[in-house]
Amino acid sequence: MSTIESALDKAIAKLPMLKNWVMGHLCALWKKASPIFAQLKKLDYSTVKAFTLKYKWRILLVLIILYAGLKAYDYFFPASGKPAGGAQTITSVIVEKKDIPLIIEATGTIISSSIVDIRPMITSMVKTIHVKDGQEVKEGELLFTLDDRNDRANYERLKALADDAQQQYLRAKELVTKNFISKAGLETSLANAKSAQAAARSAEVQLSYGSIRSPIAGRAGIVNVFPGSLVQASNIVTTATSSTATSSVGSMVTITKLNPINVQFVVPEKDIPLLMDGKQSDAPLKVKVSVGNDSKSVYEGEVLVIDNQVDPSIAAVRVRAQIPNDKMSLLPGQFARVQLNANTLKDAIAVPTEAIVISPKGRVVYLVDKDDKVVAKPIKVVYEYQGSSVISGIQAGDSVVIEGKQNLRPGGKVREAKKVAAKPGSKPTETPAAAATPATPASPGAPVAPAAPTVASPSSTEKK
């Protein structure tokens, strides 16, 4: 106890000496800094301004050198060697090779595969209407009967003359064998018979115009004439009555073929090479059509024809496809959305578009290596459609980060919430990170082991 007290007494005795030493050094430092403080007190705005204007180019050069030095340091010594402190929770996807269809989306219009406006060939009065509004008609079915009394009488007159001329010719043949008439008379009789028969056939054709038949099979529209309506051999055939006047416009009726039905749309000029490449194969190009706001009813069909020229006013080419219409639910003029399967990329690697990060060095994706660290991999986007992107630059089997990438840095440690096989256009079955509970450490100082990633079964990824 006496030894400790003696040591403490010696330390207390040396305190004044230590105090004097510290004060001496502080005084010396103050004397050296006093001139600098004195000069700083003399500085004013005019002095600083004059100095800045005098050495402005040198100051600017120093700032540029400092900025370039910082950028060079960031470039040659990136943040990959400085990972984040804690492991980031992410969601990754395992990419696979598969065939990806190349889809061209367009908007178009439903059109009939065949449509005919029924108009009269003669001026006459409607006698009988054999068709009803909206009726399904067959090819050659009688639609209208016109008043043909005058044409029928003319035909019967000319038919009688033709029959008489034919009899005169037959008698002339008998007489020429008995040398009662000359051969010239026989030839004249033959010419008269042929002329009369031709006139009779012409009258027969004129008479047939009184019976109007359907040239195609299809559905009749609204009948625009009535019994007793006067129709003319022109476009003005429809009678419409209002409160002030009666007018005639349009056709007698329109026959429209509805099954199958066509859809016409345009493909932009930039997609024409892709369209032509797909046309080279023997198989026809397939289309899927949805009409209006009904996205549930999708009609599948084939491309009939691609126009032989590009419309320069819209920089697009017209394409016509045919789709079935068994239920007769599609009508010409409806707005349609078309998905055309132009081609197929074989053994392509596709990832969700959300996995792609746009950086100053280009587009990259984050890959998770075997040490649960992320690596930024530059990629090139080949094709993109509906949330899925076909890329090059990575291999099948790589684990690509799709969620949680906003807080990642190359070389950072990660902890996966789920890992599934990639399927473009589908959402993987989610397994929350909280479901994988980390093991409780044996002691307060022991590290917590990261939760093991949950791998979804292949069957779950195949379901849409």
Query: Of the given ranges (26-40, 111-125, 127-141), which has the lowest mean pLDDT?
Result: 26-40
Domain-embedded: residue 267: no
- 95 and 188 housed in the same domain: no
Residues 96 and 175 placed together within one structural domain of the fold? no
Domain presence at residue 55: no
Q: What is the pLDDT at residue 270?
A: 86
Q: Which pLDDT band, with edges at 50, 70 and 90, does 425 fall under?
A: very low
Confidence of residue 79 (pLDDT cuts 50, 70, 90): low
Least confident residue range of 7-21, 136-150, 254-268? 7-21
Percent of the chain with pLDDT over 90: 30
The predicted pLDDT at position 246 comes to 41
Does the residue 17 lie in any domain? no
In a domain, 51, yes or no: no
- What total number of domains does the chain contain? 2
One domain for residues 360 and 404: yes
Domain limit, last residue, from 216, 238, 260? 238
**Rounded distance between C-alpha atoms, residue 464 and residue 461, angstroms:** 8
In this structure, are 90 and 143 located in the same domain? Answer: no
Q: Is residue 306 part of a domain?
A: no
The pLDDT mean for the chain works out to 79
Q: Are residues 442 and 397 in the same domain?
A: yes
Q: What is the pLDDT of residue 153?
A: 95
Whichever domain contains 424, its CATH number is 2.40.420.20
pLDDT score of 1: 52
Residue 135 predicted with pLDDT over 70:
yes
Q: Model-level pTM greater than 0.75? A: no
Tell me, yes or no, whether 178 and 94 share the same domain: no
Q: Please tell me whether residues 186 and 92 are part of one structural domain.
A: no
In the predicted structure, residue 245 carries a pLDDT above the cut 80: no
Q: Give mean pLDDT, residues 363-375.
A: 86
Asked whether residue 256 carries a pLDDT value surpassing 70, the answer given is yes
Mean pLDDT, residues 36-59: 75
Same domain, 160 and 95: no
Between 55-59, 132-136, 212-216, 438-442, the lowest mean confidence (pLDDT) is in 438-442
| CATH classification at residue 138 | 1.10.287.470
Going by pLDDT thresholds of 50, 70 and 90, the confidence category of residue 428 is very low
91 shares its domain with 173: no
Does some domain include residue 1? no
Of residues 221 and 292, more confidence is placed in 221
Q: Of 204, 238, 272, at which residue does a domain stop?
A: 238
> End of a domain among 218, 238, 258?
238
Residue 171 near residue 184 (C-beta atoms within 8 A): no
Q: Grade residue 317 by pLDDT with cuts at 50, 70 and 90.
A: very high
Q: 40 or 135, which is more confident?
A: 135
Peptide bond into 458 cis (omega under 30): no
183 assigned to some structural domain: yes
Q: Is the pLDDT of residue 98 over 70?
A: yes
Range of the domain at 433: 85-100+347-462
- Percent over 70 (pLDDT), the chain: 80
Going by pLDDT thresholds of 50, 70 and 90, the confidence category of residue 454 is very low
Q: Are strands 399-403 and 88-94 parallel, antiparallel or unpaired?
A: antiparallel
- Evaluate whether residue 65 is within a structural domain: no
Task: Specify whether 390 is located in the same domain as 453.
Answer: yes
- The pLDDT of residue 46: 80
Pick the residue with more confidence: 147 or 39? 147
Is 96 in the same domain as 203?
Answer: no
